[in-house]
Amino acid sequence: MAKDLEKKLKQFRNKPLHSKEWSDSLERKIILYTKDNPIPDSVTKELKSSRQRQRVTDGSSFLEQPTFRGMFYQLRLSSLGMKMTLALGLILALVGGVGAAAEAAVPSEPLYSWKVNVNERARSAITVGAQNQAEYEVKLMQKRLGELAKVSVQAEVDAQAQTEATVRFGAQQDKVQARIESLENESNTRVALEINSRAAATLEANAELLSGLRLRIPPVANRGLETAIDSIVSARDRIEARASGLEARFRSEVQARGEAMLVVEARERVQAGESRVNMATRIADEAATQNALTIEIRGQLRDAQNALIRAQEALERENHFQAITEAQVAVEAALEIESKIKARLQAADQVKDLLRIGDQLDIEAEGETEAELDLDLEIDSEVESEIENELNLGNQLFIGS
């Protein structure tokens, strides 16, 4: 029978099974999508000049890939006046790069509205499925976190920009919560749990990184930073408060299922756990080679691997409930690891930006030129080594396998 099946399957090798109508329609959609979302020229140039390539062995990791750092540097709207800012925006619009240029904008900047109302809405519109939409909202939350961090350490904190950034972050965090609730209401508790884990890990990683900047940023900017940290920590606490309720509901849903369903689900979940933990392990290994793996994340990886082993053993013993619940623990831990590393990578670019802004604040405060000033920041050695790790991480293009 095995040979029969092999022969049967081989017969389909060169046989097209799709309809031409559908494939033509999809091709038109893809052409339109690539035109509406072009690869920015600067990204192509930077890739060529840096000769950095990614060997991709795990396609789904791209969902967690941090936004390429080049896009953050495309539009370096430092301390230019509004006229220069608007002129730059016009030039970019003329060469057709408005969409790409807008990606680096923060609240109060001219292109920010384009970023939020055009770029992000377009992407949201083509995101299909409740889970994908929830994941996209978490990605947007990471973006709002970056914007909040950036505006919070401006020299004279632009109160309006910070208020807007805080409001937008809060609104985005509410959207994430709403997606989680919606998934829960659709009895998609497992996915709700996973999205919750991602969101909590993203917030925690950002709070940690910003806290690490306290000693690096001059006092004048500290107030803005503290406000940002408070917002993030409150959001994290709210999200974490949901976790135990979701876990309890998940367990009771699994317990209520019939044995036949449990058998199938147990296999699927253990397989999903293997896939997720393998991915998290590869991402963590890569981060480790760049000195970007914290002790906490290492510990979480061990927990994920142990949970997976327990799930596999439970499956062999045909204890399907335990296999499912342990596999879920493994998946969530793996998602947290991915989210934290990703948040740290994205935040690493922000940290560099923030450090540059922090240096600039000192220079302006002293009233001397950058060339003349000999910066003398007193930094705790432990914080310095952590920041160095972040900078080294930011200097490398993250390779997700």
Partner 1 sequence: MNEGQGKKFVAVYRQYFPKIYKYCLFRLNSKEDAEDLTEQTFLRTWDYLIQGNEIENFRAFLFRVAHNQVIDLYSKREIDRKHSEPLINQEGRERDLPDETDLLADNQEKELYQEAQEELDQLKPEYREVMILYYVEDLDLSEIAEILGLTEGNVRVRLHRARNKLKEAMR
Q: Which stretch binds partner 1 (CB under 8 A): 125-133, 161-169, 295-303, 350-358?
A: 125-133
**Positions in 233-262 near partner 1 (CB under 8 A):** 260-261
Check residue 68 for interaction with partner 1 (CB under 8 A).
yes
Give the count of alpha carbons within 13 A of 213, CB side only.
35
Instruction: Tell me the C-alpha distance between 203 and 196, whole Å.
Output: 11
Check residue 39 for interaction with partner 1 (CB under 8 A).
yes
- 222, 214 Cβ separation under 8 angstroms: yes
Cα first-last separation, the chain: 37
**Positions in 302-361 near partner 1 (CB under 8 A):** none
- Return the number of the residue (265 or 353) whose C-beta is nearest partner 1: 265
**Positions in 71-90 near partner 1 (CB under 8 A):** 71
**Positions in 277-306 near partner 1 (CB under 8 A):** 278-279, 282
Residues 6+ apart with CB under 8 A from 121: none
Candidate residues 143, 190, 236, 352; the one interacting with partner 1 per rule CB under 8 A: 190
- Return the number of the residue (70 or 224) whose C-beta is nearest partner 1: 70
Tokens 């996209």 map to which residue? Answer: 136
Cα 303–Cα 305–Cα 308 angle in degrees, nearest 5: 110
Structure tokens that stand for 79 in this block: 């301390």
- Return the number of the residue (57 or 392) whose C-beta is nearest partner 1: 57
Residue from 247, 296, 301 nearest 277 by CA:
301
Residue from 145, 130, 174 nearest 347 by CA:
145
Check residue 58 for interaction with partner 1 (CB under 8 A).
yes
Check residue 187 for interaction with partner 1 (CB under 8 A).
yes
Q: Which stretch binds partner 1 (CB under 8 A): 24-32, 208-216, 226-234, 244-252?
A: 24-32
- Return the number of the residue (128 or 295) whose C-beta is nearest partner 1: 128
- In the complex, the smallest distance separating the C-beta of residue 124 from partner 1, rounded to whole angstroms, is 12
Check residue 91 for interaction with partner 1 (CB under 8 A).
no
Tokens 């081989």 map to which residue? Answer: 10
Instruction: Tell me the C-alpha distance between 153 and 141, whole Å.
Output: 19
Candidate residues 108, 163, 275, 360; the one interacting with partner 1 per rule CB under 8 A: 275
**143: enclosing H helix or E strand:** helix 130-152
Residue from 379, 347, 349 nearest 362 by CA:
379
Candidate residues 49, 83, 125, 128; the one interacting with partner 1 per rule CB under 8 A: 128
- 239, 163 Cβ separation under 8 angstroms: no
- In the complex, the smallest distance separating the C-beta of residue 75 from partner 1, rounded to whole angstroms, is 15
- Return the number of the residue (224 or 273) whose C-beta is nearest partner 1: 273
